Amino acid sequence: MGYSREIYLAAMQTLSQRRNAMRMQTERRRAELQASLPELFDLERKIASAGFEAARAVLGSQNVEADLERLMQENLRLQEQYNALLLSRGYPEDYLLAQYCCPACHDEGYCDGGLCECVKELMRQEAFRRLNELTPAKDCTFESFSLSYYPDEPLQNGSTSPRRQMETILRYCKAYADSFGAHSRSILMQGSTGLGKTHLSLAIARAAIDKGFGVIYGSVQNLMAKLEQERFGRGNEGESAKAMLECDLLILDDLGTEFTTQFVTASMYNLVNSRLLAAKPTIISTNLSMKDLNDKYTERFTSRIIGGYDRLVFLGRDIRQQKRQAR
């Protein structure tokens, strides 16, 4: 599993800012006490001197054990005086010690030979922040998905009611999110505008990010524009395509609303086909029927979708319209 390099660098930048802030705080506190409590630093120098004497005793003393014991007791006595002086002036004993946000890695980002948990949490927060910048992701949860907007009665010529259909889809999406992994199935969400496709895809995205998986979300129109700009403009060629191919979960929203060109058609097929071959999950939402997809993106593209994606067909009436009418 993994986030994009951009998210990793943002997390490491936060750690760097924390270290700088901690360093500046320590310097301010030392300057403050040097002015108001100079005797504290006399004790600090004596403690350091006792440490140097201990090192010399190990190297040159004829009675190492006795000298070390004497120096250790002297060091403890000086430390007690140091702490007592701080407390007498209303300062905690650790007032001049570095106050790390993460005691495990000292805000460096690595411990025990790998990424510290604090970095993983920062990357998770950054991923949520970026997702929320693009979408109302904070409002798109499984708990906030209301089935009350879907009628119990079957639609005209329908064999099942929208409510029953959406209950099944909601259960599927919850189970999918709960068990999400690097090789989960891909999903095609189909249905008219305003039926909850984006809501449920973002709820899945939130769950995946919360588990530490890297997610890229975007409308097909915006993502294809970015690829096109990098390919034919002055962008970093291949950077976005690489990220879309390698991320743990790719969510392509509103397939079919983009302006279709030969480049877009080829890029969409490459994304879908490459991620299927790599067993990486993709979620596509669209208002188009299978026939429309076939006409717009070629039979080869549709064939890969049919063979490799779980298909969820959303039913009902536009929820946004229902909300407007209820005001």
Domain CATH number, residue 175: 3.40.50.300
Task: Kindly state whether residue 124 falls inside one of the protein's structural domains.
Answer: no
Token pair listed for 18: 């924390």
pLDDT in tens, 145-169: 999 999 998 877 667 899 999 999 9
Tell whether 180 and 45 lie within a shared domain. Answer: no
Tens-binned pLDDT, residue by residue, of the chain (327 aa): 567 788 889 999 999 999 999 999 999 999 999 999 999 999 989 888 877 776 676 666 567 677 777 778 888 899 999 999 999 999 999 999 888 999 999 999 999 889 999 998 898 888 877 776 766 667 789 999 999 999 998 877 667 899 999 999 999 999 999 999 999 999 999 999 999 999 999 999 999 988 888 888 989 998 998 888 887 765 555 678 888 888 899 999 999 988 888 999 999 999 999 999 999 999 999 999 999 999 998 899 999 999 999 999 999 998 888 888 776
pLDDT at position 59: 65
pLDDT at position 11: 92
Token look-up 């879908």 returns: 272
Tell whether 143 and 110 lie within a shared domain. Answer: no
Tell whether 160 and 70 lie within a shared domain. Answer: no
Task: Kindly state whether residue 57 falls inside one of the protein's structural domains.
Answer: yes
Across 160-169, b (16+ Cβ under 10 Å) vs e yields: ebbbebbeeb
Tell whether 171 and 84 lie within a shared domain. Answer: no
Q: End of a domain among 114, 147, 162? A: 114
With beta carbons less than 8 A apart as the criterion, state whether 264 and 229 touch: no
Task: Kindly state whether residue 125 falls inside one of the protein's structural domains.
Answer: no
Task: Kindly state whether residue 123 falls inside one of the protein's structural domains.
Answer: no
Tell whether 101 and 148 lie within a shared domain. Answer: no
Element (H, E) at 209: helix 197-210
Task: Kindly state whether residue 83 falls inside one of the protein's structural domains.
Answer: yes
**Of 142, 147, 134, the residue nearest 322 (C-alpha):** 147
Tell whether 210 and 82 lie within a shared domain. Answer: no
pLDDT at position 239: 76
Residue range of the domain that includes 156 = 135-326
Number of domains in the chain: 2
pTM exceeds cut of 0.85: no
Tell whether 149 and 63 lie within a shared domain. Answer: no
Q: Which amino acid is at 100?
A: Y
Task: Kindly state whether residue 17 falls inside one of the protein's structural domains.
Answer: yes
Tell whether 89 and 156 lie within a shared domain. Answer: no
Tell whether 159 and 102 lie within a shared domain. Answer: no
Tell whether 48 and 192 lie within a shared domain. Answer: no
pLDDT at position 57: 66
Q: How far apart are CA 309 and CA 92, in angstroms?
A: 60
Task: Kindly state whether residue 268 falls inside one of the protein's structural domains.
Answer: yes
Task: Kindly state whether residue 120 falls inside one of the protein's structural domains.
Answer: no
Tell whether 63 and 159 lie within a shared domain. Answer: no
Q: End of a domain among 80, 114, 148? A: 114
Tell whether 42 and 98 lie within a shared domain. Answer: yes
